[in-house]
Homo-oligomer: A and B are copies of this chain.
Amino acid sequence: MRKIENLDNILRQKGLRATAQRLMICDEINKAGHIEIDNLYENLKKQIPSLSLATIYKNMHSLVKKEIISEVNIKGRKTIYEMTTESHIHYICTECGVIEDIAFDTMALVDKISELSEKNITDCKLTTFGLCTNCAN
């Protein structure tokens, strides 16, 4: 939820134009933390009534390709988007479905599994599941 510093410049440096729609999309993803396409569209439509769903889809592609945002895929759920940030893993509540980030450097894990499996492993995605504090009550 923190402010995105110089998003205009980041976009331009990566070769994308800083359009109002694109800025708002990034801002909304940043505010939401984790969001799916239809919620994103719904939320932004209020602020930019002319906004097209096609524009959102096109932006998701370009922003993912430039690694400004990232896709999160969870079993049985629609694709979720988040701002690309430093190494973290996801925590999903098995009851309410809320998604939280856990700061975790996966590189040691990558090395360990690379060694024991004798495969070339350079990256990994880790998603954890459990009952969140709210739902535990």
Contacts and interface: CB of A to CB of B under 8 A. Distances in A.
Contact of A128 (B74, B100, B113): B113
A29 to B, nearest CB: 16
B131 A120 contact: yes
A116 B126 CA distance: 15
A119 B102 contact: yes
Given A74-B73, A75-B71, A130 B125 contact: no
A102 B113 contact: yes
Interface residues of A, number: 33
Contacts of A116: 104
Contacts of A100: 119
A136 interface: yes
Q: Which 10 A-B pairs have the closest CB atoms?
A: A73-B73, A121-B130, A120-B130, A123-B129, A124-B128, A121-B128, A102-B117, A125-B127, A122-B130, A126-B126
